[in-house]
Structure 1
């Protein structure tokens, strides 16, 4: 914990509390790495859906439904948690839901036929919804722990812990997969075990958070009752006064849709199109996570030197190159090049977008404007993968066309970046 000074923390906050908070990033990263990206995604399409042309669409539909549920319900859940000072209680419930849902995915190979597809989709919707609740709630603790000047340091420390946790979960799963394959066991045997490994690691590591992280908020006497959509409309009306921020939201929906495709479909593409086997896919995702961590860290210094908008534009160009390379290569070596560039671009593009949001958001309304940014990223998580799945289905399972079409999202994001004037947007934010 010597990576940042005590001055980065709010008065009375101890470093062990920050460690407990960062451990939640460590805990939940295994879910996205193993379930959403590396293992279960590919197994769902190739094993449960048996490689059917609609398999990728069914996978993206399940994720889209979960993201839609989160978009509709999370503002109201957050408001209730603030009103009752219950962020930690709700975080425990959300974590329990995701852990149980992840463990239940181990049962999916036992259900045959289309019923198995429906059961797997239902469990993915359930687990991913609760995962998203936990991700949002843990972020709400950050302003209670860090000062404005220390927010980046503390957040970055948690981000780094997240990559370590994701790689640990994937490493344990990879070790078991290699052991199982050496004994001739099929994916229907070792994939369920990886779900149990992920669920146990998530639950055990999250307990550190629950022990060390206190609930510092106090219950409010009363609050205005409003629906999630009414709250969203109110915040959106306020944000419309800031045209540069609104262009950033549009840009975010577009390019983050492409990023969501990479996160949710990389393993499926690697196995279904390029010919990777499960253990090779897991190594690929492991290396991609390392590249993403390096990209986010190094890029943070670069973007401060050349400017946020120019930096994001550079990463979007890199993403376009990734789509073109991935759509055209036929060898595993060629796809490794695409994956390496994607890893670097993933960490850097997400870092740049969040930094731009911080610059353009009025200092007195940070939570509201970051809430809109979160809404945009969730909407992107629906648009990108669902479009990929629909194109794959419409072309009879041709994922090369789908990945090439994903480049359009990055091109659109690049075009929407052009009208943004960071200086003008910052002045508008400060006037507020």
Structure 2
């Protein structure tokens, strides 16, 4: 934490609190790395679905259901958490839900037939829903910790910690997989253990967050769930007043749709199209996480220097290059290049998007506006992977067509960045605080 100064933090915020906040990214990233990306996704298609043509589509349907649940419910949950100053309390509940749901996935490889498919899909819906709630809630703490000038640095720290946590979880799982394969044990044996490792690491690491990160918000008024929904409706009705935030949401829907394709289908593409075996896929994702951590950390500083919008646009150009390379290469070496660039772009684009959200969100409605951001990211996570799965199915299993089509999402994201004015948006977000004169620094652009 010594790599950024106290000036990056809001008055009264201690670095140990930022460490506690970043540790949640460390804790939950093992879930996406092991379950959604590297291990369970490929096993679901190849093992539980037995390589059937509908396998990738069934996987994306399960994820889409969970994202739809979050998309419809998270804004209201965020509004309730804001009104009751209960972000930390709700975060503890959803963390327990994701840990238990992940551990329960361990039983699915030992089953067979349609019941195994249905149960696996159901548990993915449950665990990924709780994971997504936690991701949105932890993002809502960011503007309480960092100044406008330091938002990118602190956000980058969180993402970098996340990728380190993802690498640790994947590294432990990879070690067990290699040990099992050396003894001739099948995937049905080692996949359940990787789910337990991931759940255990998530639960243990998250304890640091609950021990070190305080709830700084104060209850705003006596309210019930009905008033939370009313506040949510008011937010949408005020969309014109926060037009830069709304443009960012539209941009997020597009580019995060492409990022969701990389997260949820990278292992499936690597194994089914390029010819990777499971241990090679896990190593690929491990290296991708190293690149993502470097991207999140480095761009966290760069975006505060050159401006958040400019930094994000650069990462979207890199994502377009990734799609083109992945669609055209036929060798494992070529795909390694695409994965490395994707890692750098993934960490930096996600860090920039979260920092921009924190800057453009009104301080009194942080959890609610991060709920709207979660709405956008979950809508993206439905559109991206589901369209990929549909294109693959319609083209007779041609995933190369699907991956090149994904580049259109990043192009659209670039175009939707153009109308955003960060200084104007920050000023609008702060207009009720009476702090425009000293809260809109040159770094916000």
Distance change >3 Å, CA 62–CA 248, structure 1 → 2 = same
Q: Which residue of 2 aligns with 1:114?
A: 114
Distance change >3 Å, CA 37–CA 226, structure 1 → 2 = same
**Which deviates more, 261-270 or 246-255?**
246-255
Shift, 1:8, TM fit: 4.8
Q: Is the 8 A contact 2:232 2:368 kept in 1?
A: no
Shift, 1:30, TM fit: 0.7
What do the CA deviations read for 1:33-75 (whole angstroms, capped 9, x no partner)?
A: 1111111111111111111111111111111111111122223
Shift, 1:174, TM fit: 0.6
Q: Which residue of 2 aligns with 1:97?
A: 97
Shift, 1:247, TM fit: 2.9
- For 1:10-21, list aligned pairs within 5 A: 13-21=13-21
Shift, 1:205, TM fit: 1.4
Distance change >3 Å, CA 214–CA 178, structure 1 → 2 = same
Name the Cα RMSD after superposition: 2.7
Shift, 1:91, TM fit: 2.1
Shift, 1:92, TM fit: 2.1
Distance change >3 Å, CA 136–CA 51, structure 1 → 2 = same
In structure 1, the residue corresponding to 2:330 is in which secondary structure?
A: coil
Q: Which runs of 5+ in 2 are unaligned?
A: 433-445
In structure 2, the residue corresponding to 1:51 is in which secondary structure?
A: coil
Matched, 1:58 2:66: no
CA distance in 2, matches of 1:11, 1:429: 19
CA distance in 2, matches of 1:84, 1:243: 27
CA distance in 1, matches of 2:189, 2:111: 13
Q: Which residue of 1 aligns with 2:415?
A: 415
Q: Which residue of 1 aligns with 2:202?
A: 202
CA distance in 1, matches of 2:323, 2:28: 28
Shift, 1:377, TM fit: 1.4
CA distance in 2, matches of 1:228, 1:109: 41
Q: Which residue of 2 aligns with 1:236?
A: 236
Q: Which residue of 1 aligns with 2:405?
A: 405
- For 1:9-408, list aligned pairs within 5 A: 9=9, 13-148=13-148, 150-219=150-219, 222-223=222-223, 225-226=225-226, 230-304=230-304, 306-358=306-358, 360-361=360-361, 368-408=368-408
CA distance in 2, matches of 1:217, 1:276: 48
Q: Is the 8 A contact 2:154 2:300 kept in 1?
A: no
CA distance in 2, matches of 1:231, 1:94: 22
Q: Which residue of 1 aligns with 2:441?
A: none
**Which deviates more, 26-35 or 70-79?**
70-79
**Which deviates more, 189-198 or 315-324?**
315-324
**Which deviates more, 337-346 or 217-226?**
217-226
What do the CA deviations read for 1:286-332 (whole angstroms, capped 9, x no partner)?
A: 11111112223333444455554444333222212211221121111
Q: Is the 8 A contact 2:79 2:229 kept in 1?
A: no
**Which deviates more, 334-343 or 78-87?**
78-87
Shift, 1:80, TM fit: 3.4
CA distance in 1, matches of 2:186, 2:253: 39
Shift, 1:416, TM fit: 2.6
**Which deviates more, 362-371 or 402-411?**
362-371
**Which deviates more, 70-79 or 195-204?**
70-79
Distance change >3 Å, CA 404–CA 227, structure 1 → 2 = farther
Q: Is the 8 A contact 1:76 1:227 kept in 2?
A: no
TM-score by length of structure 1 reads: 0.90
CA distance in 2, matches of 1:214, 1:418: 37
**Which deviates more, 305-314 or 180-189?**
305-314
Q: Is the 8 A contact 2:292 2:348 kept in 1?
A: yes
CA distance in 2, matches of 1:139, 1:259: 18
Shift, 1:167, TM fit: 0.7
CA distance in 1, matches of 2:407, 2:183: 41
**Which deviates more, 199-208 or 34-43?**
199-208
Distance change >3 Å, CA 311–CA 18, structure 1 → 2 = closer
Q: Is the 8 A contact 2:325 2:335 kept in 1?
A: yes
Q: Is the 8 A contact 2:159 2:351 kept in 1?
A: no
Shift, 1:145, TM fit: 4.2
CA distance in 2, matches of 1:11, 1:420: 29
In structure 2, the residue corresponding to 1:222 is in which secondary structure?
A: coil
Shift, 1:368, TM fit: 4.8
**Which deviates more, 326-335 or 295-304?**
295-304
Q: Is the 8 A contact 1:75 1:231 kept in 2?
A: no
